[in-house]
Amino acid sequence: MVFADRVDAGRRLGARLKHLRREPVVVLGLPRGGVPVAYEVAKALDAPLDVILVRKLGVPFQPELGLGAIGENGVRVINDQIVELAKVSDEELAALEARERGELERRARRFRGDRPMITLRGRTALVVDDGIATGSTARAGCLVARAHGARRVVLAVPVAPPGWDPGIGKEVDEFVCVDTPDPFFAIGQFYRDFSQTSDDEVVACLERAAGAVAPSVEVGGSDEEDPVRRDEEVEVLAGPVRLAGHLTLPEQAGGIVVFAHGSGSSRHSPRNRFVATVLNQAGLATLLFDLLTVEEEHQRANVFDIEKLAQRLGDVTRWLRLQPEGSNLPVGYFGASTGAGAALWAAADPSAHIKAVVSRGGRPDLAWSRLSAVTAPTLLIVGGHDQLVLDLNRQAQSQLHCENRLTVVPGATHLFEEHGTLQAAAEAARDWFVGHLAPTGHPVGQSPSGTHLGGRFSMNACMPSLGSSDSAREANMVW
């Protein structure tokens, strides 16, 4: 098999990794060439992307022989047996580590800027490279990921030599490879375009991914700044079905927002997690859950069965109100893409008592027959460059009889991947929920109307940048 380039390789590799969508995955690209591959894998899995920065420590008189590796945040993995056999002194080892640590820190600053490393503790670290030659760097990356607290380590590459052993059960829990051709001479043999990846390309991949996810934000922050009472995986009941979920409950939460993800996504959606983090920091609880079981997802029709998804959302809402944490909290729905159709459908049920709805890049047309019954104040957020969905949302407004607003985020496409656009959408959602779920308990930085006073985006402050008077009217008008 020959790959066109690293993008092609990443897409093919991503298709082999779909079984990991149910895990809390962080995709880690090995710079430089592994990062473009990892970027495509992260998109396929709807997972956050970071780099795994490692520096192999070689024996001073035989550098190709590795005696260990170092990673960020002081992580250090040493093979004591090699150190003893090579008679490397403590002073030599310290000098070697100091030299490589400086290069490691330089690369971290170059690739991430001010963004801290995504935490791996308790998660599945998916280490990705553009191929395996000797595998020493890939193994070092896996060791470093484990040392950072990863619960499981998966190594994935497009191509590797036949019979190459990643060390299953030691460095690696699972190894995934698209092709192991024979004969194998070099990785570049299996790429039509194997041109060198530059530092700028690595940075661009990470910035594009960071625009869609908030990997560097620890939900709840420190105990002093953003105390979180609960932040954990839960099992929710939707009728007879048990579904995996993630509940984050800040102290003195003013309300709870239940998320409905789009087709092909899950509770691990990095975009939804990013929005949830912004809501948590504003004092709102969030519940992200899988709308379908693993078995149900295999039947494509279920993904677009909006009535079934809405029923699940309603069942989970009723379950939530039976829990001590959710019994007294006003409930809002946040729906993305097809999930927005389910959220609007479910909100139309008067027994649901939903206090606010936010749709991001939503498909309200999937709930067309139910829109007139929605009474909860509804915010429709659409990218300015997502023309088809923008038209659908404009049409939906004529069917909504509740308080509603259409906010157009300039420059955003359907997935809000462009720099700053997801942040703008998240802040708009936060303002809407704060204003309608917790109007008497405004977090710091919020006005009673829900307009953010200190951030980069507010309903009124962004109006001049929208570029047209029609868009400005859509963003400000309340029907």
The answer to whether residue 57 sits within a structural domain is yes
**Residue 218 within any structural domain of the chain:** no
How far apart CA 56 and CA 68 sit, in angstroms, is 6
Q: Which of 154, 325, 304 is nearest to 247 (CA)?
A: 325
Q: Which CATH number fits the domain that encloses residue 66? A: 3.40.50.2020
Q: What is the DSSP string of 273-339?
A: HHHHHHHHHTT-EEEEE-SS-HHHHTSHHHHT-HHHHHHHHHHHHHHHHTSTTTTTS-EEEEEETHH
Statement to judge: residues 432 and 345 lie in one domain? yes
Q: Are 383 and 390 in contact (CB under 8 A)?
A: yes
Asked, for residue 217, whether it belongs to a domain, the answer is no
Q: What contacts 142, CB < 8 A, 6 or more positions away?
A: 125, 127, 153, 155, 166, 167, 171, 172
Grouping H, G, I as helix, E, B as strand and the rest as coil, residue 433 is: helix
- 190 in any annotated domain: yes
424 falls within a domain:
yes
Looking at residue 27, its pLDDT comes to: 96
Q: Which residue type is seen at 318?
A: R
Considering only 14-23, 46-55, 223-232, which range has the smallest mean pLDDT?
A: 223-232
CA 390 remoteness from chain centre: 24
What one-character DSSP code corresponds to residue 172? B
Half-sphere exposure of 8 (CA within 13 A, CB side): 11
Give Cα separations from 70 to 5, 53, 165 (angstroms).
30, 8, 22
Look at residues 252, 287, 254 and name the one whose alpha carbon lies nearest to residue 434.
Answer: 254
Q: How far apart are CA 43 and CA 264, in angstroms?
A: 11
User: Same domain for 190 and 333?
Assistant: no
Residue 149 lies in a domain: yes
Of 212, 245, 263, the one marking the end of a domain is: 212
**Domain shared by 273 and 235, yes or no:** yes
**Residue 217 confidence (pLDDT):** 36
User: Are residues 400 and 371 in contact, defined by beta-carbon separation less than 8 angstroms?
Assistant: yes
Instruction: For residue range 406-421, list pLDDT tens digits in order.
Output: 999 999 999 898 888 9
Rounded to 10°, the helix 34-45/199-212 angle is 10
Q: Token pair for residue 44? A: 């396929």
Q: Same domain, yes or no, for 207 and 233?
A: no
In this predicted structure, what is the pLDDT of residue 294? 76
* Residues 324 and 359 placed together within one structural domain of the fold: yes
Total domains in the chain come to 2
Task: Tell me, yes or no, whether 344 lies in a domain.
Answer: yes
Q: Are residues 160 and 242 in the same domain?
A: no
For residues 363 and 420, membership in a common domain is answered with yes
pLDDT surpassing 80 at residue 450:
no
* Average pLDDT score over residue span 21-46: 92
Query: Each residue of 254-285: pLDDT tens digit?
Result: 899 999 998 877 888 888 988 998 999 889 99
Query: Token pair of 336, please?
Result: 């993305």
Query: So what's the pLDDT on residue 477?
Result: 31
Determine the pLDDT at residue 337. 93
pLDDT band at 452 (very low <50, low <70, confident <90, very high): very low
What global pTM score does this model have? Answer: 0.54
Let me know whether 140 and 179 are in one domain: yes
Say yes or no: 206 and 286 in one domain.
no
| Shared-domain flag, residues 269 and 327 | yes
DSSP H or E run through 8: helix 6-16
Q: Which residues contact 264 (CB under 8 A, 6 or more apart)?
A: 46, 303
CATH number at 405 reads: 3.40.50.1820
Domain extent, residue 142, equals 6-212
Choosing from 212, 245, 262, the residue where a domain stops is: 212
Q: pLDDT tens digits, residue range 136-179?
A: 788 888 988 988 889 999 999 999 999 888 777 777 999 999 99
Please list, in sequence order, all residues whose beta carbon lies within 8 angstroms of the beta carbon of residue 356, skipping any fewer than 6 positions away: 332, 333, 376, 377, 378, 379, 432, 433, 436, 437
Indicate whether 223 belongs to any domain. Answer: no
Q: Are residues 271 and 393 in the same domain?
A: yes
Contact 379, 358 (CB under 8 A): yes
Please state the φ and ψ torsions of residue 98, each to the nearest 5 degrees. -60, -40
At which of 159, 187, 212 does a domain end? 212
Same domain, 295 and 436: yes
Return the exposure string of 285-296: e unless at least 16 CB atoms fall within 10 Å of the residue's CB, then b.
Answer: bbbbbbbbeeeb
Higher pLDDT, 455 or 87: 87
The vertex-198 CA angle with 196 and 203, nearest 5°, equals 140
Amino acid at 268: H
233 dihedral zone (left: phi>0; alpha: psi -120 to 50; beta): beta
Structure tokens, 474? 């859509």
